[in-house]
Amino acid sequence: MLEPTLQTSFIPKKSLKSAVVGREATSLFLVVTLVLFLASAAVAGGVYANKIRLQNSITGPNGLTNSLKLAREAFDKDLLEAITRFDAKLVTGSELLNKHITLVPLFTELNKDTLETVRFTSFNFSFDAGLPKLTLNGEAKSFQSIALQSDSFVASRKFKDVIFSGLDVDNKGRVTFELSMKVDPTLISYIETKRK
* Res 76: pLDDT: 80
Asked, for residue 23, whether it belongs to a domain, the answer is no
Lowest-confidence pick of 53-57, 70-74, 124-128: 70-74
Asked, for residue 14, whether it belongs to a domain, the answer is no
Asked, for residue 150, whether it belongs to a domain, the answer is yes
Asked, for residue 186, whether it belongs to a domain, the answer is yes
* Res 5: pLDDT: 63
Query: How much is the average pLDDT of 123-132?
Result: 91
Asked, for residue 141, whether it belongs to a domain, the answer is yes
Query: How much is the average pLDDT of 65-87?
Result: 84
* Res 22: pLDDT: 52
Q: Count the domains in the chain.
A: 1
Which CATH number is 139's domain given?
A: 3.30.70.2830
Asked, for residue 143, whether it belongs to a domain, the answer is yes
3-class state of residue 98 by DSSP: helix
Spell out the alpha helix ranges (H) of 60-76. 64-74
Lowest-confidence pick of 14-18, 150-154, 178-182: 14-18
pTM of model > 0.75:
no
> Which comes out higher in pLDDT, residue 1 or 67?
67
Distance between CA 187 and CA 14 in Å, rounded? 104
Domain with 179, as residue range(s), is 104-195
Asked, for residue 32, whether it belongs to a domain, the answer is no
CA distances from 8 to 2, 5, 11, 13 (A): 18, 9, 9, 12
pLDDT over 80 (residue 103): yes
Q: Give residue 95's Cα distance to chain centre.
A: 19
> 188: which residues sit within 8 A by CB, 6+ positions away?
101, 102, 103, 105, 106, 132
